[in-house]
Amino acid sequence: MSSYGPTTGGSYRVCDTVVIVCLACASSLIVLTVAVCFRRAIANGYAAAAVGASGGAGAAAASGRDRCGLAPSALSAIPMLAYRRGAAAGAGWAQCAICLAVVRDGETVRLLPACGHLFHVECIDLWLRSHATCPLCRRDVGEAAAAAEKV
């Protein structure tokens, strides 16, 4: 009788230890899984935020048409003429807003069809290689030039 009890108790104690170890393992596994899931969720959140930010920047860059210049064909479609003082309506003289010099008689200028502003051909060509707008009034030169090309 006296040897039966301790055996039962011993076996019970072993079982108890196994259960505790199993529970500890399971709980640590659960904690680990939750931690990994949490980290993933945070990482995904950051990734989504980063994608949103870069997408916004991309959209902004795409909408910023000012950055890309005119195509050579559109550039050559802008009318080029020899400036004659007094020939331009209502103006005795003209100033190139790019180099800020007065346009002299006989100098070759480009007249932007969108707004009627004129600039030295070398000044405006340089500008329109990296911009598609009038440097003075910001009107879209590219669309007007394309329309003029069609006509």
Tell the smallest beta-carbon distance from residue 129 to Zn ion (Å): 15
Q: Which range, of 1-9, 44-52, 65-73, 114-122, touches Zn ion by CB under 5 A?
A: 114-122
Please state, in angstroms and rounded to a whole number, the distance separating the CA atoms of residues 15 and 79: 96
Shortest CB 147 distance to Zn ion, Å: 16
Find the binder of Zn ion among 134, 141, 144, 145 (CB under 5 A).
134
Using the rule CB under 5 A, is 145 a contact of Zn ion?
Answer: no
Subset of 40-99 contacting Zn ion (CB under 5 A): 96, 98-99
Q: By rule CB under 5 A, what count of residues binds Zn ion?
A: 10
Told to check if 117 binds Zn ion by CB under 5 A, we report yes
- Angle ∠(109,113,117) on CA atoms, nearest 5: 55
**Per CB under 5 A, which region of 5-13, 20-28, 74-82, 107-115 contacts Zn ion?**
107-115
The 3-state secondary structure of the chain, one letter per residue: CCCHHHHHHHHHHHHHHHHHHHHHHHHHHHHHHHHHHHHHHHHHHHHHHHHHHHHHHHHHHHHCHHHCCCCHHHHHHCCEEECCCCCCCCCCCEECCCCCCEECCCCEEEECCCCCCEEEHHHHHHHHCCCCECCCCCCEHHHHHHHHHHC
Taking contact as CB under 5 A, which single stretch among the options 11-19, 35-43, 67-75, 127-135 is the one that binds Zn ion? 127-135
Nearer to Zn ion, 120 or 131 (CB): 120
Judged by the rule CB under 5 A, the positions of this chain that interact with Zn ion are: 96, 98-99, 115, 117, 120, 123, 134, 136-137
